[in-house]
């Protein structure tokens, strides 16, 4: 049996187990077992994949499988992975695993929370393993819908508004996406929904591509926080509960970048080449604009949400450069941003759980009160501003080197503009660190607060370890991604 | 030479141990771990130096460039990759000596200075991190590795400046230091990208054909890299972070903000010197002019500061500018013909690290004794702190350029190089050297001579004008005076090191010979400045001082406020970037972009409110709708037909 099926099967059995579980112990046991299994499975998949590649297996996709489930429209349940999706699956498993611990004490309606959480997980895995346009879209929607309830029910602040806004905007994106998918399907002669077969046919007329490339790219771009479709992100993140923020920024936003690369650019190459300039401008704006708006925010989650806009903008920016190095950097940035932001949101959630405020003007001197969380925050901050030794540096440098290798004025200028984000990032990160962690505690209520509990420590340590591992030994990951990125790129480049 | 990897591994290990489990360790153990690992590093560094220089010159008459380690860390497409390795050549070996020596002294000194301080373990962890990154920076085999460690050095500096994290000043200073240098690093990064793209490698050793092909872009690239160096080395106008960085513990100022990190920019230019000379001599001269202006600016400002650490900070800026100037005035790589500055710069880097480290550690001992940074709380300390007094005097003589102390020899080579370049530059730098002697002896006299602040307070106490008994200044403990003595010995004799035998611009042996005219002129100027400073400040404020203070009031006020450069930066960051750009963008995002989306949503809602009454459930209105609809359709059909 194909092991990729397990990524669908395990979440399904988790759903079943959660459904019949009766108390908090059984729920936790299910979640821990399931997410640990998923993590172990992804690690195994990664190792096995690398071993196969080293053994010289050069097929574009490994572990392929296909089963027609709606022959009339040529819709298949077809699966397969390459280096890029393996990396994404690994990322998802880490975030799901740590997210489980971050929501250890979630109340009320714990069971329902984890049901939706697992359904979201199912959608994410399904999306990354699918190679069929329609099935992929189906899993994409499966991942989006639970978000509405997770934020609307378990969120905080203006949760109904945020949940509605997020869902409507993402659904709007989905509408574009559906048009794009139909356009691709019919443009290529309506014989297959399989991504690789469509790419191999390469027969979509250019004028059709011009129409559907922007639709598809924007459709995924909404989820990838592309300017000006990013405004769901600050509100959504601010209202979401901790683990949902983690999962959303850590994994769900990656669906956007992955989709842009895998579907929009890969299947509509001519339009991607001709229209890239337009989106490069938008993503460059995202990068700088997100970082600049983060400077003057006062809510911790808003800062991080705008920072995500900036960092995810860099992902799309790098993909549009369409060089091997830049695209490898983009995938690295997805991993790096996923881990870093999850870490950030986890710690912010833990701080919020204690101080009941996220307003940076109301907190001071947390370093003295909760040293563990404060140090964790500083480390997350350093990772975010691209300090060597953490994943952000590796990803950003790969992107900049890759983007700089295109020898024309336009690309040079936008690359330099994007580079300025490394300074702006430092400004907003250090501003927060200086304001809330350093200094002397001013609020006497805060003095009574305690440091992290074991489950929180576990979450933070796991994520820091991953961020550092990717930052210290980036080569294996860059090799894992690089070859398959080159495959995709070769199809896009004219 | 394979063992040299331990020079990097040991401090890293010590950082990890102290960082991960330091908080539960007793202070003594933490200090011991840090100091012992650094001692071993120092021994290894000296061993490397002995083996390297003892190995003799190769056939071309130069010391070989050894690369015992070089691994690909992160490959990019094509030939580009980030490598990690160790490169040993005369300047990197010299830097190993400088860094390990000063760092060891600071480690020992801190055992006394930081005793009982909260966060002692954290302090040693950060010191180890800094030492690791600085050593990694100097042995870098390629520009990207250098950049990587450059960033790490920046962050360890940030952490150490902000060591007293409860003090708002320290927080602001650490943030400023990081952001200003990061801003400069942006240019450095762009310079690296250009360099990498056109030469197809990040390595320092590029073959000639690649360089020729890239020659049109090299000046731009090297110029941008220099901006990065100017940020770290506090060249005008990027110097603003350094005086504020004095908020950190004093031993940290000695190590990072005097001896090692701030010379990273000089080291960068020296490392790229062959490229500068070969392909961008004009950029090199721009560096000289920037350096000369910085040297003057900082020297003038140093003359009027009242905080002793700030005087030393501006003195550091000025002295580093001397090194930059020395590199900048080079016109060829032949030390006999326009390449003298390279050797002079490295020589001054070496001697400056020793005597400036000594000055800062001495200042630390003084601050430790009187619990203040302000000169007004000092005065007459020579009786109470004899060892500190003597060692401080030696350092002052060294920096003022009085033979036989080390600063004389290195500064003299710099001046000679400047005179070779142009008489104007030579005269200009000689004057700055004289100002240096003046402000250093102003400082010396204010601290150790004149009216004793303690005795005045004691008298006031005895006359019952003061409630509490003043604290009597005392000599520092042995762990603090030992490093002072060692550094004083080095500062006294280092001038006799035949430096040109080890380091010169083309690698060949060069024997230093003093130029009598330059030497005599500079000694005369230095002695005259010292005399003036002594007359003015030995016995408190003399008549001349008061006269000058009243007649140059405006100028002195401006100089005291550092000519308002900081205010300018504050204006740019606070007013322009924060209020002028960030706030409006954030507003625009919430109210225009997000606002228009909300508007669409509310309009949809309004529209639906208007449409909703149609579904009233009232059969009469349904009939009207039905009839008018049918009528309309019929009319359309008729019209179409």
Contact yes or no for B193 and A365 at CB 8 A: no
Query: Which of A464, A438, A474 shows the shortest CA–CA distance to A379?
Result: A464
For B374, which DSSP code? B
The answer to whether B119 and B246 are in contact (CB under 8 A) is no
* CA atoms of A40 and A94, how far apart (whole Å): 10
The answer to whether B409 and B366 are in contact (CB under 8 A) is no
**Which of A289, A297, A427 lies closest to B179 in CB terms?**
A427
Contact yes or no for A439 and B165 at CB 8 A: yes
Q: Which residue of B has its CA nearest to A422?
A: B186
Q: What pLDDT was estimated at residue A20?
A: 87
Smallest Cα distance from B196 to chain A, Å: 8
> B604: which chain A residues are within 8 Å (Cβ-Cβ)?
none
> Over pLDDT 90: what percentage of chain A?
20
Smallest Cα distance from A16 to chain B, Å: 38
For B45, which DSSP code? H
SS3 B506: coil
**Average pLDDT of chain A?**
87
CA distances to A284, B31, B111, B472, B634 from B116, in Å: 50, 11, 9, 20, 97
Predicted confidence band at A477 (pLDDT cuts at 50, 70, 90)?
confident
Residues A216-250: b if buried by 16+ CB within 10 A, e if exposed: bbbbbbbbbbbbebbbbbbbbbbbbbbbbbbbbbb
**Which of B165, B186, B193 lies closest to A420 in CB terms?**
B186
**Which of B76, B189, B589 lies closest to A325 in CB terms?**
B76
Q: What pLDDT was estimated at residue B118?
A: 83
The answer to whether B594 and B587 are in contact (CB under 8 A) is no
Residue B463 pLDDT > 80: no
Q: What is the DSSP string of B509-544?
A: -------HHHHHHHHHHHHHHHHHHHHHHTTSS-HH
ipTM strictly over 0.85?
yes
Q: What pLDDT was estimated at residue A281?
A: 92
Phi, psi of A398 (to 5 degrees): -60, -40
Question: What is the bridge-based pairing of β-strands A75-76 and A68-70?
Answer: antiparallel
Query: Which of B306, B342, B305, B336 shows the shortest CA–CA distance to B323?
Result: B342
* CA atoms of B256 and B250, how far apart (whole Å): 10
Q: Is A201 on the interface with B (CB under 8 A)?
A: no
Q: What pLDDT was estimated at residue A189?
A: 81
Q: What pLDDT was estimated at residue A99?
A: 87
End-to-end CA distance of chain B: 99
Rg of the Cα trace of chain B?
31
Contact yes or no for B165 and A397 at CB 8 A: no
Q: What pLDDT was estimated at residue B189?
A: 92
Looking at the DSSP assignment, which residues form a beta bridge with residue B75?
B81
Residues in chain A: 494
User: What would the two tokens of residue B151 be?
Assistant: 């960033």
Residue A282 pLDDT > 80: yes
**Average confidence (pLDDT) over B89-110:** 90
Q: Which residue of A has its CA nearest to B178?
A: A426
The answer to whether B25 and B121 are in contact (CB under 8 A) is yes
User: What would the two tokens of residue A50 be?
Assistant: 């690398």
Q: What pLDDT was estimated at residue B541?
A: 63
> B238: which chain A residues are within 8 Å (Cβ-Cβ)?
none
Contact yes or no for A434 and B73 at CB 8 A: no
Contact yes or no for B165 and A415 at CB 8 A: no
Residue B455 pLDDT > 80: no
Contact yes or no for A475 and B193 at CB 8 A: no
Which residue in this structure is represented by tokens 């000596």?
B97
Q: Which residue of B has its CA nearest to A385?
A: B182
Query: Which of B461, B485, B483 shows the shortest CA–CA distance to B471?
Result: B461
Contact yes or no for A292 and B589 at CB 8 A: no
Contact yes or no for B196 and A407 at CB 8 A: no
Q: Which residues 6+ apart lie within 8 Å of A408 measured at CB?
A: none
**Average confidence (pLDDT) over A146-150:** 88
Predicted confidence band at B185 (pLDDT cuts at 50, 70, 90)?
very high
Residue B166 pLDDT > 90: no
* Pick among A397, A474, A480 to test the B interface (most B CBs inside 10 A): A397
Contact yes or no for B74 and A415 at CB 8 A: no
Q: Is A465 on the interface with B (CB under 8 A)?
A: no
**Average confidence (pLDDT) over A208-228:** 88
* Higher pLDDT pick, B548 / A17: A17
Interhelix angle B281-302/B308-328, rounded to 10 degrees, is 160
**Average confidence (pLDDT) over A152-178:** 87
Q: Which residue of B has its CA nearest to A477?
A: B74
Question: What is the bridge-based pairing of β-strands B66-75 and B81-88?
Answer: antiparallel
Phi, psi of B241 (to 5 degrees): -80, -25
Burial label, B125 (beta-carbon count in 10 A; 0-12, 13-18, 19+):
buried
Contact yes or no for A295 and B593 at CB 8 A: no
* CA atoms of B210 and B275, how far apart (whole Å): 12
Q: What pLDDT was estimated at residue A1?
A: 65
Q: What pLDDT was estimated at residue A336?
A: 92
* CA atoms of B560 and B301, how far apart (whole Å): 6
Q: Is A317 on the interface with B (CB under 8 A)?
A: no
Q: What is the DSSP string of B16-42?
A: HHHHHHGGGS-HHHHHHHHHHHHHHHH
Cis peptide before B237 (omega within 30 of 0): yes
- pLDDT tens track for B490-543: 888 888 888 878 888 777 777 777 778 888 888 888 888 888 888 877 776 667
Contact yes or no for A293 and B593 at CB 8 A: no
Q: Is the dihedral of CA B239, B243, B249, B255 positive or negative?
A: positive
Predicted confidence band at A330 (pLDDT cuts at 50, 70, 90)?
very high
Q: Which residues 6+ apart lie within 8 Å of B601 measured at CB?
A: A165, A168
Q: Is A405 on the interface with B (CB under 8 A)?
A: yes
Residue B545 pLDDT > 80: no
User: What would the two tokens of residue A276 be?
Assistant: 């890239």
> A437: which chain B residues are within 8 Å (Cβ-Cβ)?
165
Q: What pLDDT was estimated at residue B550?
A: 74
The answer to whether A253 and A261 are in contact (CB under 8 A) is no
Q: What pLDDT was estimated at residue B540?
A: 63
Predicted confidence band at B403 (pLDDT cuts at 50, 70, 90)?
confident
Contact yes or no for A293 and B586 at CB 8 A: yes
Q: What is the DSSP string of A467-480?
A: HHHHHH--HHHHHH
User: What would the two tokens of residue B555 be?
Assistant: 């100028």
Q: Is A362 on the interface with B (CB under 8 A)?
A: no
CA angle B576, B581, B583 (to 5 degrees): 110
Q: Which residues 6+ apart lie within 8 Å of A247 measured at CB?
A: A95, A96, A99, A117, A120, A121, A342
> B78: which chain A residues are within 8 Å (Cβ-Cβ)?
405
Q: Which of A131-145, B253-267, B448-462 has the lowest mean pLDDT?
A: B448-462
Determine which helix (DSSP H) or strand (DSSP E) holds B630, and give its type and residue range.
helix B619-640
Q: Give the highest mean pLDDT range of A102-111, A355-364, B180-189, B554-563.
A: B180-189
The answer to whether A297 and B587 are in contact (CB under 8 A) is no
* CA atoms of B286 and B292, how far apart (whole Å): 10
SS3 B234: coil
Q: Which of B130-134, B451-455, B479-483 has the lowest mean pLDDT?
A: B451-455
- This prediction has a pTM of 0.91
Contact yes or no for A296 and B586 at CB 8 A: yes
Q: Which of B39-48, B165-174, B612-621 has the lowest mean pLDDT?
A: B612-621
**Which of B77, B182, B593 lies closest to A422 in CB terms?**
B182
Which residue in this structure is represented by tokens 């771009």?
A221
**Average confidence (pLDDT) over B162-171:** 86
CA angle B543, B546, B552 (to 5 degrees): 135
Smallest Cα distance from A101 to chain B, Å: 22
Smallest Cα distance from A326 to chain B, Å: 9
CA distances to A67, A396, B263 from B76, in Å: 38, 13, 31
Smallest Cα distance from A228 to chain B, Å: 7
Contact yes or no for A440 and B166 at CB 8 A: yes
- pLDDT tens track for A369-396: 888 888 899 999 999 988 898 988 999 9
Q: What pLDDT was estimated at residue B542?
A: 67
SS3 A359: strand
**Average pLDDT of chain B?**
85
Contact yes or no for A398 and B74 at CB 8 A: yes
Contact yes or no for A389 and B152 at CB 8 A: yes
Contact yes or no for A297 and B189 at CB 8 A: no
Helices (H), B371-477: 386-400, 406-421, 423-448, 453-462
Q: What is the DSSP string of A176-192?
A: HHHHHHHHHHHHTTSS-
Q: Which residues 6+ apart lie within 8 Å of B5 measured at CB?
A: B68, B69, B86
* Pick among B75, B76, B187, B191 to test the A interface (most A CBs inside 10 A): B76
**Average confidence (pLDDT) over B565-584:** 79
Predicted confidence band at A89 (pLDDT cuts at 50, 70, 90)?
very high
Widest Cα–Cα separation across chain A: 69
Q: What pLDDT was estimated at residue B240?
A: 87
User: What would the two tokens of residue A103 be?
Assistant: 């929501």
The answer to whether B254 and B157 are in contact (CB under 8 A) is no
* Pick among A163, A401, A441 to test the B interface (most B CBs inside 10 A): A401
Query: Which of B230, B505, B233, B229 shows the shortest CA–CA distance to B342?
Result: B505
Q: What pLDDT was estimated at residue B150?
A: 92
**Which of B182, B194, B594 lies closest to A423 in CB terms?**
B182
Query: Which of A60, A117, A62, A59 shows the shortest CA–CA distance to A92?
Result: A117
Residue B408 pLDDT > 80: yes
**Which of A430, A440, A482 lies closest to B179 in CB terms?**
A430
Give the domain ranges of chain A. Answer: 3-492
Predicted confidence band at B554 (pLDDT cuts at 50, 70, 90)?
confident
Question: How many other CB atoms are found less than 10 A from the CB of residue A294?
Answer: 28
**Which of A231, A434, A479 lies closest to B597 in CB terms?**
A231
* CA atoms of A209 and A187, how far apart (whole Å): 8
Q: What pLDDT was estimated at residue B112?
A: 85
Contact yes or no for A430 and B80 at CB 8 A: no
User: What would the two tokens of residue B477 be?
Assistant: 């403990």
- pLDDT tens track for B372-400: 777 777 777 777 888 888 888 899 988 88
**Average confidence (pLDDT) over A244-265:** 88
Q: Is A441 on the interface with B (CB under 8 A)?
A: no
Size of interface A-B (CB pairs under 8 A): 125
* Higher pLDDT pick, B401 / B470: B401
Smallest Cα distance from B78 to chain A, Å: 9
Q: Which of B42-46, B61-65, B129-133 has the lowest mean pLDDT?
A: B61-65
- pLDDT tens track for B322-372: 999 998 888 887 777 777 888 889 999 999 999 999 999 988 888 888 877
End-to-end CA distance of chain A: 38
Residue B552 pLDDT > 90: no
Smallest Cα distance from B166 to chain A, Å: 4
* CA atoms of B164 and B351, how far apart (whole Å): 30
Q: What pLDDT was estimated at residue B518?
A: 82
Q: Which of A359-363, B9-13, B145-149, B289-293 has the lowest mean pLDDT?
A: A359-363
The answer to whether B406 and B492 are in contact (CB under 8 A) is yes
* Pick among B153, B155, B165 to test the A interface (most A CBs inside 10 A): B165
Q: What pLDDT was estimated at residue B637?
A: 93
């Amino acid at each position: 049996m194909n092991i990729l099926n397990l990524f669908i099967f395990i979440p399904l059995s988790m759903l079943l187990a959660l459904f019949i579980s009766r108390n908090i112990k059984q729920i936790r046991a299910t979640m821990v077992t399931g997410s640990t299994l998923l993590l172990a499975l992804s690690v195994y998949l990664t190792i096995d994949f690398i071993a196969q590649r080293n053994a010289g297996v050069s097929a574009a996709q490994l572990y392929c499988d296909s089963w027609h489930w709606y022959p009339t429209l040529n819709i298949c349940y077809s699966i397969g992975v390459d280096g890029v999706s393996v990396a994404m699956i690994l990322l998802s498993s880490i975030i799901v695993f740590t997210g489980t611990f971050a929501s250890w004490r979630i109340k009320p309606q714990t069971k329902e929370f984890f049901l939706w959480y697992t359904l979201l997980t199912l959608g994410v895995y399904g999306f990354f393993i699918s190679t069929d346009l329609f099935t992929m879209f189906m899993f994409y929607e499966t991942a989006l819908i639970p978000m509405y309830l997770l934020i609307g029910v378990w969120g905080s602040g203006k949760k109904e508004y945020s949940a509605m806004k997020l869902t409507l905007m993402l659904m709007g994106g989905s509408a574009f996406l559906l048009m794009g998918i139909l356009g691709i399907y019919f443009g290529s002669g309506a014989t297959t929904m399989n991504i690789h077969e469509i790419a191999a046919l390469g027969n979509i007329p250019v004028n059709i591509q011009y129409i559907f490339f922007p639709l598809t790219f924007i459709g995924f771009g909404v989820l990838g926080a592309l300017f000006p479709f990013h405004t769901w992100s600050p509100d959504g993140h601010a209202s979401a509960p901790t683990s949902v923020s983690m999962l959303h920024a850590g994994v769900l936003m990656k669906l956007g970048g992955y989709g842009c690369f895998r579907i929009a650019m890969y299947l509509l190459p001519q339009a991607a080449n001709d229209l890239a300039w337009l989106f490069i401008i938008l993503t460059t704006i995202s990068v700088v604009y997100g970082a600049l708006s983060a400077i003057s925010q006062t809510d911790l989650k808003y800062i991080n949400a705008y920072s995500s806009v900036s960092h995810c903008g860099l992902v799309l920016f790098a993909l549009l450069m369409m060089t091997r190095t830049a695209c490898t950097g983009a995938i690295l940035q997805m991993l790096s941003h996923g881990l870093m932001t999850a870490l950030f949101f986890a710690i912010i959630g833990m701080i919020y759980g204690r101080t009941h405020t996220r307003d940076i003007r109301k907190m001071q001197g947390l370093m003295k009160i909760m040293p563990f969380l404060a140090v964790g925050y500083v480390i997350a901050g350093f990772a975010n501003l691209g300090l060597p030794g953490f994943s952000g540096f590796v990803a950003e440098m790969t992107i900049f080197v890759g983007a700089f290798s295109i020898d024309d004025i336009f690309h040079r200028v936008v690359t330099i503009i994007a580079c300025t984000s490394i300074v702006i990032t430092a400004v907003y990160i250090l501003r927060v660190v200086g304001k809330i962690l350093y200094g002397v505690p001013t609020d006497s209520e805060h003095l009574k607060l305690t440091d992290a509990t074991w489950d929180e420590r576990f979450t933070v340590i796991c994520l820091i370890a991953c961020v550092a591992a990717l930052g210290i030994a980036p080569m294996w990951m860059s090799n894992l991604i690089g070859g398959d990125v080159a495959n995709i790129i070769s199809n896009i480049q004219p | 030479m394979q063992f040299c990897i331990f020079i990097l591994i040991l401090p890293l290990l010590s950082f990890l141990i102290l960082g991960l489990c330091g908080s539960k360790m007793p202070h003594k153990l933490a200090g011991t771990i840090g100091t012992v690992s650094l001692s071993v590093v120092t021994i290894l560094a000296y061993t490397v130096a002995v083996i390297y220089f003892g190995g003799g010159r190769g056939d071309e008459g130069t010391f070989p460039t050894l690369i015992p380690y070089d691994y690909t860390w992160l490959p990019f497409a094509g030939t580009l990759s980030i490598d990690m390795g160790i490169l040993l050549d005369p300047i990197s070996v010299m830097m190993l000596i400088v860094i390990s020596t000063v760092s060891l002294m600071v480690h020992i000194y801190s055992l006394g200075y930081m005793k009982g301080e909260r966060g002692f373990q954290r302090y040693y962890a950060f010191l180890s991190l800094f030492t690791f990154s600085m050593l990694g920076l100097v042995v870098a085999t390629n520009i990207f590795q250098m950049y990587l460690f450059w960033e790490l050095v920046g962050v360890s500096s940030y952490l150490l400046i902000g060591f007293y994290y409860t003090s708002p000043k320290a927080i602001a200073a650490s943030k400023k230091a990081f952001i200003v240098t990061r801003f400069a690093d942006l240019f450095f990064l762009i310079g690296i990208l250009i360099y990498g793209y056109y030469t197809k490698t990040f390595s320092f050793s590029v073959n000639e054909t690649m360089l020729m092909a890239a020659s049109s872009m090299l000046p731009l690239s090297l110029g941008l890299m220099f901006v990065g160096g100017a940020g770290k080395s506090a060249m005008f106008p990027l110097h603003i972070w350094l005086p504020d960085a004095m908020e950190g513990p004093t031993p940290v100022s000695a190590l990072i903000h005097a001896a090692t990190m701030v010379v990273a920019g000089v080291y960068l230019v020296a490392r790229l010197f062959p490229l500068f000379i070969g392909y961008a001599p004009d950029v090199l001269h721009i560096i000289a002019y920037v350096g000369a202006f910085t040297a003057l600016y900082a020297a003038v400002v140093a003359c009027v500061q009242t905080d002793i650490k700030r005087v030393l900070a501006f003195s550091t800026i000025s002295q580093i500018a001397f090194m930059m100037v020395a590199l900048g005035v080079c016109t060829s790589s032949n030390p006999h013909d326009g390449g003298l500055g390279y050797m002079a710069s490295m020589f001054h880097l070496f001697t400056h690290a020793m005597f400036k480290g000594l000055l800062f550690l001495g200042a630390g001992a003084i601050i430790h004794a009187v619990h203040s940074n302000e000169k007004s709380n000092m005065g007459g300390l020579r009786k109470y702190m004899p060892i500190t007094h003597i060692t401080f005097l030696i350092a002052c003589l060294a920096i003022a350029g009085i033979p036989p102390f080390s600063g004389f020899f290195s500064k003299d080579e710099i001046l000679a190089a400047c005179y070779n370049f142009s008489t104007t530059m030579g005269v200009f730098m000689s004057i700055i050297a004289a100002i240096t002697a003046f402000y250093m002896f102003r400082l010396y006299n204010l601290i150790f001579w004149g009216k004793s602040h303690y005795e005045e307070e004691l008298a006031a106490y005895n006359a019952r004008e003061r409630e509490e008994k003043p604290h009597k200044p005392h000599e520092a403990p042995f762990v603090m005076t030992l490093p002072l003595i060692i550094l004083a010995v080095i500062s006294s004799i280092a001038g006799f090191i035949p430096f040109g035998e080890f380091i010169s611009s083309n690698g060949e042996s060069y024997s230093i010979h003093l130029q009598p005219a330059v030497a005599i002129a500079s000694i005369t100027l230095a002695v005259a400045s010292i005399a003036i400073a002594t007359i003015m400040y030995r016995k408190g404020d003399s008549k001349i001082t008061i006269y000058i203070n009243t007649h140059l009031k405006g100028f002195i006020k401006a100089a005291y406020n550092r000519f308002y450069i900081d205010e300018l930066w504050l204006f740019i960051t606070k007013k322009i970037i924060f209020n002028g750009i960030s706030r409006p963008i954030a507003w625009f995002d919430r109210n225009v972009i997000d606002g228009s989306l909300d508007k669409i949503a509310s309009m949809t809602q309004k529209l639906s409110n208007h449409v909703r009454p149609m579904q009233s459930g009232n059969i009469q209105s349904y009939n009207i709708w039905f009839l008018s609809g049918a009528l309309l359709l019929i009319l359309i059909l008729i019209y179409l037909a």
